[in-house]
Amino acid sequence: MPTKSVPGRKLRDLIILHGFYQPSLRELGNLLRLSSSTVKKYLRAFKTSSLSLTEIQRLSDPALQERLKPLRSDLQNYRHDKIRGLLPSVHQRLKECDSTLLQEWESYRERETHSYSYSQFAYLYSQWLLANGLQKPSRNRWKLILSPENLEILREWRSSSNKRKWERAVG
């Protein structure tokens, strides 16, 4: 689940304080109630942007948030792109085989050095299903092929008051 973005006002204060006073990341974080890693991310985003301190003051809060949105690391992009390419084949195997999502994740984890955890894998799969308008394949292991007359006999036995017939129909 993505974290909440830092409000534009805090971003502006962070950059201005860093530009004029040069406090440590920890001091900035304590002052603005942000973690030092968040401070570091946004300062890195500011340094890689082409914005100046005067431009920062002129931008609206939403515009500033958009311009200083921290970039995902290359590893995150690689993992996300890799799994996005694998999900159609995972879905196909779940539909065709007696495979489970857990088994598919285990084989994915064996193949990939930087793999997602099972919970994240399952979440990304469910999001992919929603985005593509698909449903998770049902896993009914016990498929019985019955003729219509046998099916009718089973229904009769089920509704019967005879205990032996009922046990056969249910069991």
Percent of the chain predicted with pLDDT > 90: 18
Percent of the chain predicted with pLDDT > 70: 87
Q: What mean pLDDT, rounded, does the chain reach?
A: 83
Question: Looking at residue 33, what DSSP letter applies?
Answer: T
- Span 68-86, mean pLDDT? 74
- Span 98-126, mean pLDDT? 89
Residue type, 78: Y
pLDDT > 60? residue 156: yes
| pLDDT bucket at 119, cuts 50 / 70 / 90 | very high
| pLDDT bucket at 79, cuts 50 / 70 / 90 | confident
- Determine if residue 22 is left, alpha or beta; phi over 0 gives left, psi from -120 to 50 gives alpha, anything else beta: left
Structure tokens at 115: 């793999």
| pLDDT bucket at 113, cuts 50 / 70 / 90 | confident
Dist CA 87 CA 126 (whole Å): 10
Structure tokens at 106: 């285990």
